[in-house]
Chain A
Amino acid sequence: MATVPSAALPAVPRGQAGPASAEEQYVTFTVGTEEYGVNILSVREIRGWTPETKLPNMPDYVRGVVNLRGIIIPIFDLRARFGGSQTEVTKRHVVVVLQVGERTRGILVDAISDILTVAHDAVKPPPDIDSGLIDQQYLSGLVTAENRMVTLLDVTRLFAGDAVEVLASHPIQIPHQAQA
C-alpha cells in the first residue's frame, strides 16, 4: 500500500539531519509488507525475541518489558502501533533496541532487511496522513531503495507524547526508591 508523496507538503523537520554529512545510514526492517528505516545512530542493538512480561492496562502496542542485561526496557509492537493487530511472535521475530534520548526502548519488527545509505536529497517528504493512529510527524521521510519504498521513522517523535504516557492517570506512591 505505497502512498503517493505529495509535493505540495511543507518540509517536515528531520530528527537526525546533521548539517555536515550529506548522507546517513538507516537500518531497515519489515513489518508485514511494509519496510521501515531508523537512523543507525539510534540503534543500540538487534536481538532475537525473548518472552516479555506484560504490563497491566496498557494498549495493545505496548507488549511489555524485557530484561536487557539488567536494565528493564519496554517493547513496542510496531505493527500494533500502526493500527494492525498484535504481532504473533515467532522465534524469527526481532527486537530493535533503540536509544531515544536517555531512554532505551525496543521495537518488535518482523525481520531486519538492510542497512541503507541515504543521501539527504533522496529523502522525499512523507505523505499527509491523519489516521488518528499515526501522526505524520513520526515519519521523517520516504526513500526508494531498489524499487522498494522505505518509510523512515523519527524515533524521538515516535515515542514522544505517546498515548502511553497519558495512561498514567493518577500518581501512585512509589514505596521503594528504585535503582536503575
Chain B
Amino acid sequence: MTGAYLDDLDRFKATYFDECAELLAVAEAGLLRLSPQNIDLDEINAVFRAVHSIKGGGGTFGFSQLVAFTHEFEAVMDRLRSQQIGVTTELVDVLIQANDVMARLLTCARDGLAVPAGLADASASDLKRFLQKDASGPGAPAPAPHPAAARTAPAAARSFVIYFMPKSDLLLSGNEPAFLLRALKRLGQAEVVCDMGRVPPLFELDGESLHLFWQIALTGTTDEAAIRDVFEFVVDDCQVDIVETTGSADGGEEEAFGVFAENLPYVPPGQLTVYEAGAVDGAQAAPARPEGGGAGPGSGTSAGGGGLGGHTIRVDLDKVDRLVNLVGEMVITQAMISEQLRDVPPGTLQQLVEGLEELSRHTRELQESVMAIRAQQVRSVFSRMPRLVREVAAQTGKEVMLATSGETTEVDKTVVENLVDPLTHMIRNSIDHGLETPEERETIGKPRSGTVHLSAQHRSGRIVIEVADDGRGINRQRVLQKAVEQGLVPAGAALSEEEIDNLIFLPGFSTADAVSAISGRGVGMDVVRRNIASLGGRIGVHSTPGVGTRFVLSLPLTLAVLDGMVISVGEQRFVLPLTNIIESLRPRRADLQSVANQCDVIMARGEYVRLVYVDRLFRIDGAIGDPTRGLVVLVETEEGGRLGLVVDEVLGQQQVVIKSLESNFQRLDGVSAATILGDGRVALILDVAGLQSMSRNTPARAIPAAALPAA
C-alpha cells in the first residue's frame, strides 16, 4: 500500500511541477507587463495567485526553502495588490528576479537537488526591503483607487448567508473547501451547513470530484467584499451567492442557528449535515473525498491532471504519436485503394467509388484532427520573448517595444519547441544590429523607442513567422566589405542587394568587430538557418536602409508529413522535399560545361551550378543519365549552395508521411528518410545536403569532352 501511495504522491508532485511551470509563465508575463505606467490590478492579482499557488503546493510537499522564499514574494505581491506599496521600476526588477529565484528553487525541488547556498538570499533581502517600506515610500505614485479601498469600514456586526457551491472539480485545482470555511470563520460567527444531497451513490463516486455544497450563516463586523475575498482563488471553480440577512446584527451564538434557519431563502433537497464552523478542518471535510475512491492524503491539494481549465487533458505524447502514425497508415492505405480503383472502367462499381470518395474526405479530416492534437499555439514561445527583449534592451542601452501578433496560431509541438532558439537569436540580432540608439533615432526623427514586431500566421499550409524591426536596416556596404575580408565573396564581385542581404546567412559571417555579450560569439545567422532548415523551413530577409529589416521564416505545420516532388531515376522513384526545389529544366548541350575535367556544370540563373548525377551517386542502372534527355532539378541546400540534380523525370507533387529508415535499418548517405507511396511501395526521401557532400567526394562527369562545345 505504501508503494501505491508513493506512486500517487509522485504523480501529484509531477502534476504540481507541471502546473508550476504554467504558473511561473503567468507570473513572469504579468510582471513583465507591469511598470509604473502600466498598473493592471487584474494582472497583479494573477501574479499574486500564481505565487500563492506555488507556495501552497510547495508546502504540501514539504519544500521548505521554496515555501520560505515564496512567502516573502507573496507578501510583497500582497502589499502591491492592496496598494500599500506603489509600482516602481525597482520593485518590478526585484519581483522579476524573485520570480527567477522561485523558478530555480522549483527546479531544485523537482530534481531533488540541494539548493545552492545563497541562491535566494539577495532576492529575499530585496523583497524584505519592500515589506519594511511604508506606503509612502519614495517613488511610489499616488495609489489609484483600489476596489478594496472603497469598502466601507464595517461599523456594526452584519449577518450574511453564503451559498458556496463549488464545481465538482474544485479539488483538482488544488483548493480545499475546509480552508475557505475556516477563513470565513475568521470573519465572525459562522454556522456551516453541508448539503450532501448531490453526493452520488458510493459505486458511482469519483474520489477526485466534489459533490458537497455549503450554506454558511455568518455574523460579524464584516462586509460582502471581505467575504468575496475569501473566495478569490476559487471564483472560477464555484458559485458563491451572498445574501445579507437584515435585522440580525445582534444575533448571539445560541441564536445564530435559529436566525440562519429562519432566513434561509431555500433549503436545498437532500440530507443536511451540520458542522460547527470552528471545528471544520481537513479531517471533518473528508467525507467530501470518500476513501476508496483512490484519492490518498494530500489529494486535495493537487489531484490528477485534469483540472486545468476543465477542458483539457494531459496525454502521454507517445499515445498521440501512435495515433498520428496510425492515421498516416490509413491515409496511405486509402490512397492505395483509390489508386487501384482508378483503373476500374467508369460506370462500374459506382457505389464503391462514391463510398471511397466519402472515405477519403473523412480520412483527410481525421488526419487534420489528429495533427491538431499535437498542435500548440506559438504563444508558448512568443511569451518568452518580452523577457529577452527587456534583457537585451538593458544590455545595449536601447529602448525597445515588442509587439506581437498571431500568438494563437497553432503549429506542431515539435516545431514550436524548435522555434525558441532561432527566434531568440533573431530578436537579439534585431535589437543589437537593427535598432539605433535612442539618441540616434531622435536625431533622424524616429521615436526614441524602437519596435520589434513578432508575428505568426498561417499561409498556404505553412506557418510564416516574421521578426521585423524599424531600425537602420542592413548596412550592405559593410556586409559586403566584411564578406570580402573574410574571403566569403571574391573581391570586386557584383552582387545584387538581395544577394548581399543573404550573405548574413553564410557560415562564419559576422559583422561584429568585437565579441560582445550579445553577438559575435560565433553563433550566427547560419545556425539559425540550419535550425530552420532542419525543420524543413526556409528563412528570408528583406531590408530597407533606414526603415528596417524583416526576417521571414516559413515552416511546415508538422514534421510528420512533407510536401515532396516525386522524381524517377531509372526504375526507382524518390521524393525530393519541395522546400529544396528551385526549378527544373532540360538544358541544351550548349548550356553544359566541364570544369577541370572533374565535374559538369550548368549555367542557371546567372550562376554555374554543379551537376549531380543521381544515378551515378546511387549506382542505379538503366537511368537516362544525360541532362539533355532527362531533367535537371535545380535545388538549394540549407547552407545556400545550389546543385543541379540529374534525374529522368518529374512525376508530380505529393504530400508524404515521413517514415524512419533508421528505426529498423540505418542511416544512408544522401537519404533523409523514407515514405510509402500510393502503390504501397517505399520511396526514399532525398537529402540534398547529403547528396552535395557525396558529390564532393566523388567527382562525376557524364558528358564526354567531345560532346561539349568548345570553351
Contacts and interface: CB of A to CB of B under 8 A. Distances in A.
A53 B328 contact: no
A56 B674 contact: no
Interface in A17-58: 50-57
A79 interface: no
A170 B687 CA distance: 14
Interface in B235-288: none
A175 B669 CA distance: 12
B664 A179 contact: no
B664 A172 contact: no
Interface stretch (A4-12, A66-74, A142-150): A66-74
Given A178-B658, A179-B559, A172 B329 contact: no
A15 B132 CA distance: 73
B663 interface: yes
Given A55-B668, A180-B663, A170 B658 contact: no
Interface in B336-368: none
B664 A71 contact: yes
Contact of B664 (A55, A73, A165, A177): A73
A71 B682 CA distance: 10
Interface stretch (B14-22, B101-109, B617-625): B617-625
Interface in B396-448: 414
Interface residues of A, number: 37
A65 B682 CA distance: 7
A92 interface: no
A67 B325 contact: no
Contacts of B697: 170
A172 B659 contact: no
A53 B572 contact: yes
Interface residues of A: mostly helix, strand, loop or mixed? loop
A90 interface: no
A122 to B, nearest CB: 33
A91 interface: no
Contacts of A104: 664
Contacts of A178: 658-663, 672-673
A169 interface: yes
Contacts of A175: 533-534, 536, 577, 638, 672, 687-689
B625 to A, nearest CB: 15
A148 B618 CA distance: 42
Query: Could you say which interface size class chain B belongs to?
Result: 35 or more
Interface string B315-334: 00000010011101100100
Given A72-B661, A179-B325, A53 B332 contact: no
Interface in A57-89: 57, 64-67, 69-74
A168 B669 contact: yes
A132 interface: no
A66 to B, nearest CB: 6
A171 to B, nearest CB: 7
Nearest to A73: B664
Contacts of B620: 54, 56
Residue of A72, A102, A168 with most partner-chain B CB within 10 A: A72
A168 B687 CA distance: 15
B559 A173 contact: no
Nearest to B534: A175
B687 A172 contact: yes
Interface string A136-180: 000000000000000000000000000011001111111111111
Given A170-B693, A176-B562, A176-B673, A72 B682 contact: yes
A65 B680 CA distance: 12
Contact of B669 (A57, A67, A176, A180): A57
A67 B620 CA distance: 21
A54 to B, nearest CB: 6
A168 B325 contact: no
B321 A179 contact: yes
Contacts of B559: 176-177, 179
Nearest to B660: A178
Nearest to B662: A178
B682 A56 contact: no
A173 B672 CA distance: 8
Interface string B651-690: 0000001111111111111111110100011111101111
A60 B319 CA distance: 38
B536 A65 contact: no
B168 to A, nearest CB: 38
B666 A172 contact: no
Interface in B429-470: none
A168 B665 CA distance: 11
Contact of A74 (B534, B619, B665, B687): B665
Contacts of B619: 56-57
Contacts of A57: 618-619, 668-669
Contacts of A64: 682
B668 A168 contact: yes
Nearest to A177: B559
A165 B672 contact: no
Residue of B638, B664, B669 with most partner-chain A CB within 10 A: B664
A179 B672 CA distance: 11
B658 A53 contact: no
Nearest to B673: A178
B447 to A, nearest CB: 42
B560 interface: yes
Residue of A54, A102, A171 with most partner-chain B CB within 10 A: A54
Contacts of A71: 659, 663-664
Interface string A106-141: 000000000000000000000000000000000000
Nearest to A105: B664
Contacts of A179: 321, 324-325, 328, 559-560, 657-660
A70 B669 contact: no
Contacts of A72: 659-661, 663-665, 674, 676, 682
Residue of A50, A53, A71, A179 with most partner-chain B CB within 10 A: A179
Lowest 10 A-B CB distances belong to which pairs? A56-B618, A172-B690, A178-B660, A70-B329, A178-B673, A53-B682, A74-B665, A180-B663, A180-B660, A103-B664
Given A57-B619, A165-B666, 17 more contacts: A52-B682, A56-B620, A67-B676, A67-B681, A72-B665, A102-B663, A103-B665, A168-B669, A170-B693, A172-B669, A172-B670, A172-B671, A172-B687, A174-B667, A177-B559, A178-B659, A179-B325
25 contacts: A52-B682, A55-B684, A56-B618, A56-B619, A72-B659, A72-B661, A72-B674, A105-B664, A164-B665, A165-B666, A172-B669, A172-B690, A174-B534, A174-B672, A174-B673, A175-B533, A175-B687, A175-B688, A176-B685, A177-B414, A177-B559, A177-B658, A178-B663, A179-B559, A180-B659
Interface of B: 321, 324-326, 328-329, 332, 414, 533-536, 559-560, 562, 572, 577, 617-620, 638, 657-674, 676, 680-685, 687-690, 693, 697
Interface of A: 50-57, 64-67, 69-74, 102-105, 164-165, 168-180
